[in-house]
C-alpha cells in the first residue's frame, strides 16, 4: 500500500472512476472504493461500503474518539468526469511540483489529504470521532452523499474540494427548468394553418434574457456576486417544410443563498405570463432539478477552527472565499451539519489537462489534521 502522499495520490489517479451517469460505460466507483477500504484496513481503520445504486459504492470510515468530544466529518468524492481528448489520463505524471492526471485536482488530491488526516487522527487519542465519507456520483446527482447521510452525522464537516487553500464559506446553487412552446403543425406553404412553436420560443428567449439582465442589477452577494440564468439546450420542429408544432428549451438558473427553487420558478412563470396576451401562444414550464446554494457564518466554530489551523500551516491567514460551482457541502448543510470547504491548489478541473500542486496537498493534509486535533480534542 502506498505510504507517501504523492504515491497515494498517484495510486488514486491510476484507478479509473469515471462516472457512468456522465459517460456511458464509465468505470464507476467500485474499484477505487475497494482500494480506499483496503488502504484504511492496512492502517487499522475500519470502513464500510454503502451502495446508493448497484455498482455505485461510497466509503464510510470512522476513527472513534475516547468520548466527550465533538465529531468532525471529512468529505471527498470518488468519481470523475470523462477523459475525451486526454492523453494517458490514468497515468499520473509528476512535473515541476505538480501531479497530472484525470481527477488529480477534482478531487482525488482532497481525498488523499483526507485519508492521511484520518490516519493522523487514529494516532491522536482524540475525544471526538473523526469520520471520512468518500462518496460516489458527486459529478452527476450526488446519489452517494444522499445515501451516506442516511447513516452518518457529525458536529461539523469539511469538504475537501479545491479552494486554492482558501476557506470557502459559500457557493451558488442551481435550478433546471424545461419550457415548451406549442404550435400547430402544417405544410410550410400554409401560414394560415400553421403556428410556429420555434418562433414563439424566440419570445420566451427574449423574456429570459431580460430576466438575466435584471438579476445582474440586484444586490450582489459579497462573495458570490449575482445570480444568473442561461439557455442551455433547445430542440424543436419536425422537418424543414413544416410549421413546428413543438419547441423545448432547457434553462439553468444559478442561485444565491436565500434564493429558493419556488422563487426561481415563479420568476420564470411571471415572464411567461407576459406573453399570454397572444391567444395562439401556449407554453408549459416545469422545474426539473434543484440544488440549494450554500453558506455558513464566518463566526461558526468549524470555520474559526479551520482558519486558525490554516494560518498556522500557511504562515498567514487564509483567504475567505465563495465559489461559483455547486458541491456536496449543500447537502451536508441541509442535513444540519455546519460545513466549510477547504482544499488544494491546481487547475484543469473537467479540462483535458488536469493537475494539482503537490505542496498544497500536503498543506491541506496538515491543515485538516490541525483542525481535527483542535475541534475534536
Q: List, for residues 15-39, the tens digit of each pLDDT value.
A: 999 999 999 999 999 999 999 999 9
Residue 346 DSSP label: E
Q: Give tens-digit pLDDT for 105-161.
A: 999 999 999 999 999 999 999 999 999 999 999 999 999 999 999 999 999 999 999
Q: Are residues 125 and 41 in the same domain?
A: yes
Cis peptide before 322 (omega within 30 of 0): no
* Residues 52 and 154 placed together within one structural domain of the fold: yes
**39 phi/psi in degrees, rounded to 5:** -60, -45
Dig out the grid coordinates for 283 from the structure: 407554453
353 Rama sector, left if φ>0, alpha if ψ -120 to 50, beta otherwise: beta
Residues 54-72 pLDDT 10s: 999 999 999 999 999 999 9
What is the Cα–Cα distance from 265 to 260, expressed in whole angstroms?
A: 9
Judge contact between 327 and 159, C-beta under 8 A: yes
CA–CA distance, 147 with 125 (Å, rounded to integer) = 29
CB 287 within 8 A of CB 252: no
Closest CA to 224 of 250, 252, 259: 259
Q: What torsion do the CA atoms of 39, 41, 47, 50 make, to the nearest 10 degrees?
A: 60
What is the CB neighbour count within 10 angstroms for residue 230?
11
How far, in Å, CA of 58 to CA of 107, rounded? 15
H/E stretch holding 375:
helix 358-375
Whether 228 contacts 220, CB under 8 Å: no
Q: Which of 259, 291, 323 is the last residue before a domain boundary?
A: 291
Q: Report the domain count for the chain.
A: 2
CATH of the domain at 152: 3.40.630.10
| Average pLDDT, integer, range 206-214 | 97
What SS3 state is found at 187? Answer: strand
Residues 84 and 204 in one domain: no
Mark whether 45 and 147 lie in a shared domain: yes
- Picking from 291, 307, 341, the residue at the C-terminal end of a domain is 291
219 lies in which domain range? 173-291
Domain's final residue, options 291, 319, 347: 291
Does 153 share its domain with 264?
Answer: no
The DSSP bridge partners found for residue 68 are none
- Give the pLDDT score at 1: 87
Q: Does 193 share its domain with 285? A: yes
pLDDT for the residue 277: 87
Report yes or no: 144 and 135 within 8 Å, Cβ to Cβ.
yes
Pair (266, 364) in one structural domain? no
The verdict on 270 and 190 lying in the same domain is yes
Whether residues 84 and 199 fall in one domain = no
C-alpha cell, 130: 473523526
Beta strands in the chain (DSSP E): 47-51, 57-63, 72-77, 93-95, 98-100, 130-135, 156-159, 167-171, 173-182, 228-236, 246-255, 282-291, 294-295, 320-323, 339-341, 346-347, 355-357
**356 pLDDT more than 90:** yes
Indicate whether 304 and 233 sit together in one domain.
no
**Residues 156 and 302 placed together within one structural domain of the fold:** yes
**φ and ψ at 261, to 5 degrees?**
-55, -40
Q: Examine the domain organization and report whether 198 and 340 are in the same domain.
A: no
Give the CATH number, domain containing residue 267: 3.30.70.360
Buried b (16+ CB within 10 A) or exposed e, 123-160: eeebebbbbbbbbbbbbebbbbbbbbbeebebbbbbbb
Structural contact between residues 162 and 105, judged by C-beta atoms closer than 8 angstroms: yes
Average pLDDT over every residue of 359-375: 98
Return the pLDDT at 72: 98
Amino acid at each position: 500500500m502506498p505510504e507517501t502522499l504523492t504515491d497515494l495520490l498517484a495510486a488514486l489517479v491510476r484507478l479509473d472512476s469515471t462516472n457512468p451517469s456522465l459517460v456511458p460505460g464509465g468505470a464507476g466507483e467500485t474499484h477505487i472504493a475497494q482500494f480506499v477500504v483496503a488502504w484504511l484496513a492496512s492502517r487499522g481503520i475500519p470502513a464500510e461500503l454503502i451502495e446508493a445504486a448497484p455498482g455505485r459504492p461510497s466509503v464510510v470510515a470512522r476513527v472513534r474518539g475516547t468520548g466527550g468530544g465533538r465529531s468532525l466529518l471529512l468529505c471527498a468524492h470518488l468519481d470523475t468526469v470523462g477523459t475525451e481528448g486526454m492523453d494517458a489520463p490514468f497515468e499520473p505524471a509528476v512535473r515541476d511540483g505538480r501531479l497530472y492526471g484525470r481527477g488529480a485536482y477534482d478531487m482525488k488530491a482532497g481525498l488523499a489529504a483526507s485519508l492521511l488526516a484520518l490516519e493522523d487522527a487514529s494516532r491522536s487519542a482524540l475525544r471526538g470521532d473523526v469520520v471520512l465519507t468518500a462518496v460516489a456520483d458527486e459529478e452527476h446527482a450526488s446519489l452517494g452523499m444522499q445515501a451516506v447521510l442516511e447513516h452518518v452525522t457529525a458536529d461539523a464537516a469539511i469538504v475537501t474540494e479545491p479552494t486554492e487553500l482558501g476557506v470557502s464559506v459559500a457557493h451558488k446553487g442551481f435550478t433546471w427548468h424545461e419550457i415548451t412552446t406549442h404550435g400547430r403543425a402544417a405544410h410550410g406553404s400554409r401560414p394560415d394553418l400553421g403556428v410556429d412553436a420555434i418562433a414563439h420560443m424566440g419570445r420566451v428567449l427574449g423574456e429570459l434574457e431580460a430576466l438575466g439582465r435584471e438579476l445582474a442589477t440586484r444586490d450582489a452577494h459579497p462573495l458570490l456576486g449575482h445570480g444568473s440564468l442561461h439557455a442551455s439546450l433547445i430542440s424543436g420542429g419536425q422537418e424543414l417544410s413544416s410549421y413546428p408544432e413543438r419547441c423545448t428549451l432547457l434553462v439553468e438558473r444559478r442561485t444565491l443563498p436565500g434564493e429558493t427553487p419556488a422563487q426561481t420558478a415563479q420568476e420564470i412563470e411571471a415572464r411567461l405570463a407576459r406573453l399570454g396576451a397572444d391567444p395562439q401562444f401556449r407554453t408549459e414550464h416545469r422545474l426539473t432539478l434543484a440544488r440549494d446554494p450554500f453558506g455558513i457564518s464566518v463566526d461558526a466554530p468549524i470555520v474559526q477552527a479551520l482558519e486558525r489551523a490554516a494560518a498556522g500551516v500557511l504562515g498567514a491567514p487564509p483567504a475567505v472565499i465563495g465559489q461559483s460551482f455547486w458541491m456536496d457541502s449543500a447537502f451536508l448543510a441541509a442535513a444540519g451539519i455546519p460545513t466549510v470547504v477547504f482544499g488544494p491548489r491546481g487547475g484543469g478541473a473537467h479540462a483535458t489537462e488536469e493537475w494539482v500542486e503537490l505542496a498544497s496537498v500536503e498543506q491541506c493534509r496538515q491543515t485538516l489534521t490541525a483542525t481535527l486535533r483542535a475541534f475534536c480534542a
